[in-house]
Structure 1
Amino acid sequence: MSEIVVLSGSPSEFSRSEQVLKYLGALLQQEYFSVTHISVKDVPAEDVFQGKFDSPAIQEITALVQNAKGIIVGSPVYKGAYSGVLKALLDILPQDVLKHKPVLPLMTGGSPSHLLAIEYALKPVLATLKGHNLKGLYLLDSQIDKQQENPIIDADILQRTKKQLQYFIEIVNRQASAVFFT
């Protein structure tokens, strides 16, 4: 069994991106992965905004991420980028916290015009943390119904999402096998 960390960058109480991330976590659990969901809402604001990298909460997040076999990071698009609170959290994690880990980036937004936010905003910061970025997923708000257990209501997007998740699983399993046999 592998550990996967799902990191939600949405500061909203009931966001579309967080519902999609929870759904992906549930799919991973069906594949016998252990999943830990971390939301920026659950991190003490004082730790994040004062850069307390040595606080117990930040140390726990660091340990969870460093010990994970793979990471999924998601955020809604805010002003052409990911959420500021996600950036603040990522800034106080160690520089190589994602080293050699497959990372599946995910963003949600109100229009297709923000599609490149994943490429020009989220992926570069994840790469700076030494993560191995996968293609990633961008979902429009209109393709998500946050009231449903499966929030992805567009059949084509659901198929593409499951395909990306399967690729993520294959890479996580391949890396776990490589470590096992070395």
Structure 2
Amino acid sequence: MPKVVIISGSPNPISRLNGIVDHIEERLVSLGLDVRFLHVASLPAEDLILARFDSPSIVEANRIVAEADAIVIASPVYKAAYTGVLKTYLDLLPQKGLEGKVILPLFIGGTIAHLLAIDYALKPVLSALYARHITAGVYAVDKQITKTEDGSFILEEELILRLNAAVAGFVEATALFAPEVAPQT
């Protein structure tokens, strides 16, 4: 079973980004993938800021990424790019930390004006980490996700269709490009 890690770069635990990530997780699990989460904001801030490559938390986060066949990278857009907390973590990945992995980028922003943030801000960094299989990402606008009183999220139908199409392409690419998972003995 392919292993997927969802890396959330949101510093806000109640972000609308969670609505997108929850939907993606449900789809991936329903398709038989093994999904884990890495909430970058839950890593020790001092380890991130001081670039402590040998920190047990960073070593463990990097191990989770290394063991994954595919990675979803999700972030809100701040200042026309992904969050600073996500950048500090990406800086702590090994130079070839994304080599051989299929990547699905997901961004959410306040306006459509930052639609190209995935292409212009995130993809160059992913390429520097040797990501070669970046599937078509999804950019959502805040107003496409409604947070309910119980803390759950309602996604607009158009966004759901785009997310489902992105998951289909991601799963297909994972089957094609991710290294074959060794059988358990």
Fold in common (TM above 0.5):
yes
Tell me which residue corresponds to 1:120: 120
The change in CA–CA distance for 1:149 and 1:26 in structure 2 (over 3 A counts) is: farther
2-structure distance, mates of 1:99, 1:10? 24
2-structure distance, mates of 1:43, 1:65? 14
The answer on whether the counterparts of 1:23 and 1:151 sit within 8 Å (CA) in structure 2 is: no
How do residues 22-41 of structure 1 correspond to structure 2 at under 5 angstroms?
A: 22-41=22-41
Counterpart of 2:51 in 1: which secondary structure? Answer: coil
Tell me which residue corresponds to 2:172: 170
- CA shift, 1:167, in A, is 0.7
The structure with more helix, counted as a fraction of residues: 1
Tell me which residue corresponds to 2:4: 4
Q: How many residues align?
A: 179
Letter in 1 for 2:140: L
The answer on whether the counterparts of 2:19 and 2:155 sit within 8 Å (CA) in structure 1 is: no
- CA shift, 1:150, in A, is 5.7
RMSD: 1.7
Aligned-pair identity in percent equals 40
The answer on whether the counterparts of 1:23 and 1:149 sit within 8 Å (CA) in structure 2 is: no
Letter in 1 for 2:138: L
Deviations along 1:140-173, one digit per CA (max 9) or x if unpaired, are: 00111233756422x2221111011011011112
- CA shift, 1:32, in A, is 1.3
The answer on whether the counterparts of 2:16 and 2:153 sit within 8 Å (CA) in structure 1 is: no
1-structure distance, mates of 2:177, 2:154? 30
Mapped pair 1:60 → 2:68: no
The answer on whether the counterparts of 1:4 and 1:35 sit within 8 Å (CA) in structure 2 is: yes
How do residues 12-27 of structure 1 correspond to structure 2 at under 5 angstroms?
A: 12-27=12-27
Q: Which stretches of structure 1, 4 residues or longer, exceed 6 Å deviation after superposition?
A: none
Report the TM-score when normalising by structure 1.
Answer: 0.92
Task: Identify unmatched segments of 5+ residues in structure 2.
Answer: none
Task: Identify unmatched segments of 5+ residues in structure 1.
Answer: none
Tell me which residue corresponds to 2:142: 141
The answer on whether the counterparts of 1:70 and 1:101 sit within 8 Å (CA) in structure 2 is: yes
